[in-house]
Amino acid sequence: MKQQFTRSEVLALAWAIRRQNQFLTWGQCQAQAWKVARLRVALRTWATRFTFQKQDGEVREAYGTVNPSLFSYEHKGTDRAESPTAIKYYDLDKNAWRSFRAERILKIAA
């Protein structure tokens, strides 16, 4: 898989994670940012299985993508600002858009 992100983008994401969650160490923020970068590349390329922790503490395994050739959806558009720590994906099991916070990613299926 070709690397489609730069170190500066990953470090900017790590700082955004750090600003949102002061309880994580800088090393943990960097590790999460690298996981998120790899997940975003995988989601753009194909359907991916990954695991994250929901806000209520429940661990959820998801199967999703953002590749428009793998699902059909009519974009309605929005003027809402996009958060750099929000990971949005199209859930192929539920046929709906979902999102979660970047520091909650646990693992990405190989």
Tell me the C-alpha to C-alpha distance, in Å, between residue 57 and each of 3, 31, 104.
Answer: 31, 20, 10
Taking the C-alpha atoms of residue 96 and residue 73, their distance in angstroms, rounded to an integer, is 9
Structure tokens at 8: 């500066």
Position 80 scores a pLDDT of: 73
Where are the alpha helices (H) located in the chain, listed in sequence order? 7-20, 26-45
pLDDT tens track, the chain, 110 positions:
455 778 999 999 999 999 988 889 999 999 999 999 999 999 999 999 999 999 999 999 999 999 988 888 777 777 677 788 899 999 999 999 999 999 999 999 86
